[in-house]
Structure 1
Amino acid sequence: MRPSVTPQPVRYLYFHPVRVLICPDKFAGTLTASQVAAAVAEGWHETAPRDETVLRPLSDGGPGFVDVLGSALGGRRLPVDTVDPLGRPTRGEVLLVDDAEPTRGGRQNAKITAYVESAQACGLHLLSKAERDVNAATSYGLGLLLAAAVESGAGEVVVGLGGSAVNDAGAGMLAALGAAPVDVSGYALPYGGAPLITATGLAAEPRLRRVRLVAATDVDNPLVGLHGASNVYGPQKGATREDVLRLDAALDHFAGVLEQAFGVPDLRTLPGGGAAGGIGAALLALGGRVVSGIGLVTGLIGLEEQLDAADLVITGEGSFDHQSLRGKVVAGIAHGARDRGLPCVVIAGRNETGYREAAAAGVTETYALIEHFGSEERALAEPARGLREVAARLAGQWSR
């Protein structure tokens, strides 16, 4: 006689989908932050279609600042005719966002905040390598964008700084606002940073209608000195060693002109003054305040809540190097992931950061498209494909 067997209940294993937060910066010269995020999500779903991917493309104030905020906040985009660093016509836009504030009587007061991206008029990407002339490049186009924001009725203007081709301490921007730097004879100076060595004052008060100014920047460099705008960022804009010395002296002199005109002391050494070729210093002279670009963007789009709900974070940028860990997108995201005990993976075009340095910032793993393809040429030619393939491989490792 067979022994009776008690049927055992069937046990099913349920695997919860992984929630992946994808929040990259742009890959400069190839893909926008939105395109990077989309490619990573597509590659992930090729391997793990049931997982949830949350896309939050980011900017630290440089190229893509207005696009990222416009996608997250809505608002109205105001087209503006402006000029590039060489004075050639180009198009930009101002993002206008209405913020309703409750009053005692229950009514709503409309407050307009304008978001302006300096790179739309001053961006290095607007020039070919042969066109880069850091001595003469001007921020005049940014002044036109800022003037349009003021005329729109905005009470506060947030200026994203980064990725610029200029080194004129905002002199061109001031000229567009009616406050051109002048020489001892009262004549307006030519555009660019080099002529500022002869500046003695400003032609008039800038036309700003008492708007509040905010500089959203990815760097904390001062205006002048060894860590200033000319020394650190001048060479990547085409400056020779002689140019750097000339421009640093010119900006040091012009800082004194701005201090006298606006009564702001220590303008040469204030953190963030060296942002975007010294535009940060001009905004500080105008009474503006400097904030972290990545901190501002993550706060506006609610990224903290998304980090709280994530299982894995993927971020990245075109070049992951020593500058990436100084206030840029990757640093901000990695720190937020580290504080929550979340794994953080960086996908970059190239990786020039050491393992220990990256790990200390909160980065778990790093992947580079150049290593994936085996050549820089293919990485630049097919970045979206590389992102999809790397993300598909990542999903095989991290998905449940």
Structure 2
Amino acid sequence: MRVLICPDKFAGTLSAPDVASAVAAGWLGEDHLVQRPLSDGGPGFVEVLAGALDGRRLPVETVDPLGRPARGEILLSGTTAYLESAQACGLHLLTAQERDPNITTSYGLGLLMTAAVEAGAAELVIGLGGSAVNDGGAGMLAALGAAPIDVAGNALPYGGAVLSAAVALGGQPRLRQARIVVATDVDNPLTGLHGASKVYGPQKGATEEDVFRLDAALEQFAGVLEQAFGLTDLEVAPGGGAAGGIGAALIALGGRVTSGIGLVGTLIGLEKELDAADLVITGEGSFDHQSLRGKVVAGIANGARDRGLPCVVVCGRNETGYREAAGAGVTETLSLTDHFGSEEIALAEPARGLRELAGRLSRQWSR
């Protein structure tokens, strides 16, 4: 039997390649196992593509959401550079006590983009997801030489809250005419009820009062971007709310928004592997209602369903109902929390749990 193992990361514990390896290691029998770890643009985007593409991984000195030194990298394949915003803006880079979208910045992403352009990239493919920021890409633009300024002409400090004072950009972004592709599976607009602040602000540390303040600040900054780049309706552009509004800034720079899982799938030949598979195993750390709205698991389950293939989801914890998952194409769901009977053990020993679940699945499904 040909088993396709194509999971996303288990956030905070295992990368997507590590998840795939653990499942393969636990599988019993002589079946043919194909590992194709995936990403929808969030953490692990560069690592997943580096395992599938011919290219060079170039280390880059950048900064985290609080401006502290951080290590990042770009994947340069031909004249295309693949970047991951989470390496500089990721929520996982902060402790729970440090999360504050009023002051966190996307400056580090701008440093990654600068490094890519300096390395000769003519196209930047930027994965968005898992961010700790809500600054509409203001920090990123500052790193590119186009810092937001106030009415007195002073550059604004880091963070999303201060954007209420933005009236213009203090320069032109230095990108050497590089094309931009925005890889994300978030279709939220920049502002409003379904915008970056309202939907994702609370998980980044925003209080209810912060959400209203940040949304108003992004509305002000959207006007600045529209004026600077000759645009309209930036606030409602699909994907503009990705990564705390970085999506909107990249759209303003001429970026084309595309599905993260779709792009990764194309680059690693996922459709061909699905066509050849007899069983599909996918998964992620938390399998919940958001997983079924354009995330990796949803894309894989839909593809399996369209081909009449069984699709098993392995996860850290399962918060979906059976009918909801089945409607998306999921045949069976197994969680580490249920397997161990303890969330603490599931977080401490995810690789062991995945090996044990894989052994159980092989006894159930193997021919």
- TM-score normalised to the size of structure 1? 0.91
- Counterpart of 2:278, as a letter, is D
> 1:364 and 2:331 equivalent?
yes
Q: What is the Cα deviation at residue 198 of structure 1? A: 0.5
In the alignment, the residues of structure 1 paired with residue 224 and residue 288 of structure 2 have an alpha-carbon distance, to the nearest angstrom, of: 35
Specify the alignment match of 2:40 in structure 1.
Answer: 60
Distance 1:317 1:129 in 2: 21
The aligned counterpart of 1:15 is none
Q: Match for residue 49 of structure 2? A: 69
Deviation at 1:118, TM superposition (A): 0.3
Q: What amino acid does structure 2 have at the position aligned with 1:93? A: E
Number of matched pairs: 367
Counterpart position of 1:248: 215
Shift of 1:356: 1.4
**Who is 1:220 aligned against?**
187
| 1:19 match | 2
Rounded Cα–Cα distance in structure 1 between residues aligned with 2:217 and 2:6: 39
Which protein shows a greater Rg?
1
**Aligned partner letter, 1:81:** E
2:20 maps to 37
Structure 2: how far apart are the matches of 1:74 and 1:377? 39
Letter of the aligned partner of 1:60 in structure 2? D
Please give the per-residue CA displacement for 1:22-66, whole angstroms capped at 9, x wherever unaligned.
Answer: 00000000000011000101111xx32x11110001110000000
CA distance in 2, matches of 1:57, 1:395: 19
Q: Distance in 2 between matches of 1:264 and 1:370?
A: 48
Map Cα deviations across residues 70-118 of structure 1 (whole Å, 9 max, x no partner): 11002011111100000000111111001xxxxxxxxxxxxx0000000
1:167-206 paired onto structure 2 within 5 Å: 167-206=134-173
- SS class of match (2:213): helix
Partner of residue 74, structure 2? 94
Give 2:255's match in structure 1, choosing from 288, 294, 315: 288
Gaps of 5+ in 1: 1-17, 99-111
For 2:189 and 2:324, the matched residues in 1 are separated by 24
In the alignment, which residue of structure 2 is the partner of 1:382?
349
Distance in 2, matches of 1:381 and 1:289, equals 39
Query: Does residue 159 of structure 1 match 2:142?
Result: no
- Aligned partner of residue 358 in structure 1, secondary structure: helix
Give aligned-pair identity as a percent.
78
SS in 1 for 2:154: coil
Letter in 2 for 1:368: S
Q: Kindly state the Cα deviation for residue 148 of structure 1 after the two structures are TM-superposed.
A: 0.7
Matched, 1:343 2:326: no
Q: For each residue in 1:208-239, what CA deviation from the matched residue of structure 2 results, as whole angstroms up to 9, or x when unmatched?
A: 11111010002111111111101111111111
Which residue does the alignment assign to 1:120? 87
The residue that corresponds to 2:267 in the other structure is 300
Structure 1 partner of 2:174: 207
Unmatched tracts of structure 2, length 5 or more? none
Give the letter for the 2:109 counterpart.
Answer: L
The Cα RMSD (Å) is: 0.7
Query: Which SS does the other structure have where 1:81 is aligned?
Result: strand
Runs of 4+ in 1 over 2 A off after TM superposition: none
Question: Is the partner of 1:268 in helix, strand or coil?
Answer: helix
- Give the Cα separation in 1 of the matches to 2:205 and 2:176: 36
| Cα distance, 1:348 vs structure 2 | 0.5
